[in-house]
Amino acid sequence: MRITDLINKKSVSLDLYADNKMKAIEKLVDLVNNSGNLNNKEEYKSAIIDRENMSTTGIGEGVAIPHAKTKAVDNPCLAAAICKEGIDYESFDGSLSHLFFMIAAPDGANDTHLEVLSRLSTILMDEEFRNDLINAISVEEFIDLIDKKESEKFPESKPKPKVQAKKSGETKYPKVLAVTACPTGIAHTFMAAESLNKTGKKKGVSIKVETNGSSGAKDILTKEEIEHAECIIVAADKNVDMARFNGKKVIITKVANGIHKADELIERASKGDAPIYNHSGDSATQENNDDETALRKVYKHLMNGVSNMLPFVVSGGILIALAFLFDNYAIDPKNFGSNTPLAAFFKGIGDYAFGFMLPVLAGYIAYSIADRPAMVVGFVGGILAKEGGAGFLGALLAGFIAGYLVLGLKKFFSFLPQSLDGIKPVLLFPLFGTLLIGVIMTFVVIPPVKGINDGMVAFLNGLGGSSKVVLGLVLGAMMAIDMGGPINKAAYVFGVASLDAGQFEIMAAVMAGGMVPPLAIALATTFFKNRFTKEQQESGKVNYVMGASFITEGAIPFAAADPLKVIPACVVGSATAGALSMVFGSALRAPHGGIFVIPVVSNPLGYIAAIVIGSVVGMVLLSILKKPLDKQA
């Protein structure tokens, strides 16, 4: 079966247009349905969306290969489409997608078609070939290009390059070995393999790549090849057999790095720049730990807690803010926020939602560390921190303690017979974990953390006008330095923590600082067009929406393209906005929302002025730092 055997002319579009990823999916599903191979279009669409929710199938280099295997498909088929304008398909490399191939595979069928589809992933690594497809003027030419490329890349009589003969007649083993694998085993697995093979050939490094695809492992590494290899690259997002690599130099990384960082990986492997892998003996799997430092793991666990906590804080904070907006202060100043029935209604619901903030933070940090059994232990630790006055910091510590506590319990109870595995997650781990977290939080964590927390609140309450302005300036600048990175997140987490401490002005300064970078860039691309390319001018328009919605990351493509000019301009603009927000005394109870929560900001006009002034300052500075394109050397 060849690639073209799966393509129906009715399932090819050379002029696909869609405003966003979801609309693109809908149109691609329609193309698949045109082939007559679907028995339930909506069920197939749901399967595609479920796959996208796992991770994007925008594989980069302008290509997206959405796919699903489901009983809604009668026969394997393939839809293809071209969008010359490009669609934001949330690709790994941030590029717009121009080439789309949607795969439909029947559930329970043999996987012959998957091998054919792996070929598609491989041939799409050729940039010239991709450009030829995009510029095809007819469906027939499009399909013919694929057919010719497949014949060129996979001739029927192509010998397997398993071994090469030395002049002496002895077997020559590859210097570098590699294993690629992704969760679905269709696209990224084979693209990573192709990228590593091409890079190895370009650098003159002999390499053999084993692919762990949906239809099983191909080009499996032999015992002799592993024994003679100087280094092994494991580019995988799922577990692969690692016991065979014990004692060898191994680079363990993500499958995406096999595609986009093949040059770096081959360079490291050829120099033997890798640690010796020591297999533990209790598992035949590995974790993707390349570039995964202990600090990075802690950061990921923290962000898991924060991201799951935010909906509670956003909804609760806005409802509480609405309560103050609709209340009458004159009735009873001490009861402001609950004087009228409507205000009391909003305040009550908001308090309940907001009250989940700390337990959810701790619960999901623990869940990230030790999976579901740790969640209840984290929740209990979080509520103890809340009730004990340890606040945000106490809940944060509770989450990490709960997670690693459950990991310890898993090891402690590993001696029990396998027949008792079923009661561990529902009885032993929650029972002993909850008891231990209660003891640790009550007697070890809460007393000192409550003291620290009370001291921080007293310090913040004691800040005078000038001190608050400096704090706003620093936090605003931090929001723009790495635009969504660790420094940005540190400032943001501090802002969220300040909500629990009752310091609502801090959250306002943080949000103002985070809104400025994309808004400054949007203004610059509008009023100083000669500093930007046509493509950047178009992208700049999107930043109006991104900035207004408090999505600082909208500025990242511009910062990455010209960091020495864009980042300083944005930092100064954000620092200005953060400082002015403090000067105007603006306060915000919601940790997100951008312009949509301005109605519940205290002194909204001053807050808008702070954001506008900061954005204009950033725009002006950026226009000074960036020279007109036609005058640049």
User: Can 570 be counted among the known catalytic residues?
Assistant: no
Q: Where are the alpha helices (DSSP H) in 549-562?
A: 556-561
Output the DSSP codes for 269-326: HHHT-SPBP---SS-S-----TT--HHHHHHHHHHHHHHHHHHHHHHHHHHHHHHHHH
Give the active site residue among 77, 83, 113, 182.
182
561 HSE (CA, 13 A, CB side): 14
Q: Is 302 left (phi over 0), alpha (psi -120 to 50) or beta?
A: alpha
The pair phi, psi for residue 104, each rounded to 5°, is -120, 120
**Would you call 75 exposed, middle or buried from its count of C-beta atoms within 10 A (0-12, 13-18, 19+)?**
middle
The pair phi, psi for residue 12, each rounded to 5°, is -120, 130
Sequence-distant contacts of 163-168: CB under 8 A, at least 24 apart: 164/206
68 CB neighbour count, 10 Å cutoff: 25
Q: How far is CA 628 from CA 187, 308, 371, 526, 563, in A?
A: 42, 44, 53, 14, 17
342 HSE (CA, 13 A, CB side): 7
Tokens 């035949």 belong to: 284
The rounded distance, in Å, linking the Cα atoms of 619 and 441 is 49
Q: How far is CA 249 from CA 212, 240, 259, 271, 453, in A?
A: 20, 16, 21, 11, 47
User: Can 228 be counted among the known catalytic residues?
Assistant: no
| Closest among 22, 112, 19, 100 to 66, alpha carbons compared | 100
Both tokens of 230, joined, read 């100087």
| Closest among 226, 261, 208, 324 to 93, alpha carbons compared | 261
The rounded distance, in Å, linking the Cα atoms of 134 and 151 is 20
**What percent of the residues of the chain are helix, what percent strand, and what percent coil, each to the nearest 5?**
65, 10, 25
Which residues does the annotation mark as catalytic? Answer: 67, 182
